[in-house]
């Protein structure tokens, strides 16, 4: 089994595998190109994003700068908007529903390192997917950790760190994020 297959199945894998390194380099070069496109060249920006991302719908907008690891593991829904400095470590799938708003300086981390120091020191990691539902507003500076599912109609307050699944129709805030209101 290849390291890429292990990664996609959530198993321990070596991120320094040459195939994975080459895929990250390709993606990061596209991200660099995207981030250097003139702001008003919307058509070229959309074209490059479609080359980076695994799946898009018709209407979306990602402010520059944007960075991700592989790109092909990211799917964005209709009317997706992200403000500046979006970081997605997409070693596993990251799926955004429709009508998702992402504030500035947000990060989505699918990669994890083993708790066991001996295994971690060998350079292995694993990844778990992140799923964001429909009609979700993610405030600025939010971090969402691996393996998280966020339901529909959720508001995540600025600065929150999401460490566990979030049900639909709630407002969450804090570190770690907790439900503060039902909507």
| CA 165/CA 77 separation, integer angstroms | 20
* Catalytic residue, candidates 113, 149, 161, 173: 113
133 near 154, Cβ under 8 Å? yes
* Residue among 63, 107, 60, 109 at smallest CA distance from 87: 107
Q: Could you tell me the CA-to-CA distances from 7 to 16, 89, 98, 129 in Å, in that order?
A: 12, 13, 27, 11
- Give yes or no for a contact between 106 and 140, defined as CB atoms under 8 angstroms apart: yes
User: What three-state secondary structure class fits 150?
Assistant: strand
Q: Is 113 a catalytic residue?
A: yes
Distance between the two ends of the chain, CA-based, in angstroms? Answer: 46
So which residues are the catalytic ones? 113
């Amino acid at each position: 089994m290849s390291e890429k297959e292990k990664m996609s199945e959530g198993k321990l894998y070596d991120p320094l595998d040459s195939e994975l390194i080459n895929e990250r380099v390709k993606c990061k070069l596209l991200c660099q190109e995207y981030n250097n496109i003139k702001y008003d060249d919307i058509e070229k920006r959309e074209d490059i994003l479609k080359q980076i991302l695994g799946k898009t719908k018709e209407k979306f907008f990602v402010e520059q700068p944007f960075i991700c690891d592989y790109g092909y593991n990211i799917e964005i829904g209709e009317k997706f908007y992200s403000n500046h400095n979006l970081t997605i470590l997409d070693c596993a799938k990251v799926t955004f529903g429709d009508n998702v708003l992402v504030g500035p300086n947000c990060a989505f981390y699918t990669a994890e390192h083993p708790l066991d120091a001996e295994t971690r020191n060998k350079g292995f990691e694993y990844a778990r997917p992140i799923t964001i539902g429909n009609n979700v507003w993610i405030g600025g500076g939010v971090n969402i950790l691996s393996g998280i599912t966020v339901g529909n109609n959720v508001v995540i307050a600025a600065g929150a760190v999401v460490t566990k699944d979030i049900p639909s129709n709630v407002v969450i805030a804090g570190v770690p994020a907790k439900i503060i209101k039902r909507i």
